[in-house]
A and B are shown apart, each in its own frame.
Chain A
Amino acid sequence: MAHIIARDVVVQFPIYDTAHRSLKKQLIHATTGGRIARESGDRVTVRALDGVSFEIRAGDRVGLMGRNGAGKTTLLRMLAGIYEPVGGALDVDGRTATLLELFVGVDLDATGYENIMLRGLYLGLSREEIRSRADEIAEFTGLGDYLNMPVRTYSSGMQLRLAFAVSTAVDADIVLMDEWLSVGDAEFRPKARRRMEELMKRSSILVFASHDRALIGEFCNRVFWLEQGAISEGDPKAPRN
């Protein structure tokens, strides 16, 4: 069964300025014992997640809430395996699909179909899987013959449809999602919503960052509040406090 277990997980970011980025300065620093190049010494770090523990079991639909910069995206990226925690233990079991940013890996000069392939490969599908899904994806976008044209010629709404269609075509046990549910025009939005719901049904765990209380209340059975690197669990149905 898919699960996510975190114990006292710490994620912190080193903040590099140009001196830290420089091999020369670092060498001077190392050879002079830090007397000359003192300014390149003390490195600033930011603790994005500070000793966080939680357990997510199969069937859980977790909503993440918190102000901008509270660590929602960092938490999602950590669960996706992009940032490895510097402390604590994290156990993620299951095939993970990361839908953080809709437009990652889109090549504007390539055609719609090529982008379906590119994006699908990035998401970890095999070429065979993508080919078998291409028709379904193409139909969902409703872009028709435009898919043979370079994505550069699309309107932003059309690009969005394409990216959304490919991103949501994955099968995964664990779906990690940053907020982008409210996409597209009036005609596309209900379609997009249905597709999201299908994706959620296929997956066994959903972790979903959003600012929209109503949305979380509707989809999630648990809600995590993030504040200054700490997590507290709340009631998804009730407003905070």
Chain B
Amino acid sequence: MRRGLLAFELWGYLGWHDIRQRYRRSLLGPFWLTLSTAIFVGAIGFLYAKFFGQPLARFLPFVAIGFIVWVMIQTSVTEACTVFIDAESVIKQIRMPFSAHVSRMLFRNVVIFLHNFAIVPVVMLAVGLSFRWALLILPVSLLLLAWNCFWVALVLATVCTRFRDIPPIVTSLLQLVFFVSPVIWLPEILGNRGWVAEFNPVHHFMELFRAPALDGRVPLSSLGVALAIALAGTALAFAVFARFRHRLAYWL
């Protein structure tokens, strides 16, 4: 696994190559995604601000950040299910660290995340939120988000290679998580059921980005939660991966 992470030349190039490849023939390139995210955020922002009776100036950046973080989580988890299956031809021909395939997928999604994130300063300016020092925590937030996506992806990729009926289960679970997570609704409206958000890791991952941008606050508790989950998850992923790594090639 360490060797896999160290092979950053390999997965970095491959991930970047994926992006270039996908948008080779289009003018805007990956900014197509930015555009479609912007349209979604705009539409939902306007509509739901009315639903929840929230001021647009608060709700629009809230949805923008929440949705961008959600897209990162969702695509990473979905694509994780087929990482090894898609790389079957390579895995069976050339020995390279398995985790490099996961890193490649994740790197690709981080690049897309950064493209999407270009919306955030625009939205912040539009609603009159100025620069605040707490924003400097964002690289740490991204690191924690990517780290958590990594261990989840490693576990899922391994398990899904063995049991091919898991990806559809994951897809339906993701849908459920989307609706129970405060992506497009504010956790405040839960009232005395606030624990639904407090115990939802996804809420904390989004808080990592929302708190600095919206309130100019460093989200200490969410940072702690994300770090704790990352550490525990990495231990789990290590255990699963160390146990089954040798069997992966046979499962393909």
Interface string of B69-105 (1 = CB under 8 A from A): 0000000000000000000011111111000000000
Given A22-B163, A24-B165, A98 and B93 touching (CB < 8 A)? yes
Residues 88-110 (chain A) with a chain B CB within 8 angstroms: 96, 98, 100-101, 104-105, 107, 109-110
Given A77-B92, A80-B95, A107-B21, A118 and B14 touching (CB < 8 A)? yes
B188 at the interface (CB under 8 A from A): no
Q: Is A104 within 8 A of B90, CB to CB?
A: yes
A13 at the interface (CB under 8 A from B): yes
Q: Which residues of A contact B96 (CB under 8 A)?
A: 122, 124
Residues 111-163 (chain A) with a chain B CB within 8 angstroms: 114, 117-118, 121-124, 126-127
Query: Looking at chain A's contact residues, is the secondary structure mostly helix, strand, loop, or mixed?
Result: loop
Given A22-B163, A22-B164, A81-B95, A127 and B90 touching (CB < 8 A)? no
Q: Which residues of B contact A84 (CB under 8 A)?
A: 246, 249
A107 to B89, CA, bound (A): 12
The range of chain A's interface size is: 20 to 34
A84 to B251, CA, bound (A): 12
Q: Which residue of A lies closest to B21 (CB)?
A: A109
A186 at the interface (CB under 8 A from B): no
Interface string of B156-197 (1 = CB under 8 A from A): 000000111110010000000000000000000000000000
Q: Is A82 within 8 A of B91, CB to CB?
A: yes
B5 at the interface (CB under 8 A from A): no
Given A13-B250, A109-B21, A109-B24, A104 and B94 touching (CB < 8 A)? yes
Chain A residues within CB distance 8 Å of chain B: 13-14, 16, 18, 21-24, 26, 77, 80-84, 96, 98, 100-101, 104-105, 107, 109-110, 114, 117-118, 121-124, 126-127
If A80-B94, A82-B93 are given as contacts, then 10 extra A-B residue pairs at C-beta distance below 8 Å, sorted by A number, are A16-B251, A84-B246, A100-B94, A101-B89, A105-B94, A110-B17, A121-B10, A121-B13, A122-B90, A122-B94
7 closest pairs, A vs B, by CB? Answer: A23-B163, A104-B93, A21-B164, A81-B95, A84-B246, A22-B165, A121-B10
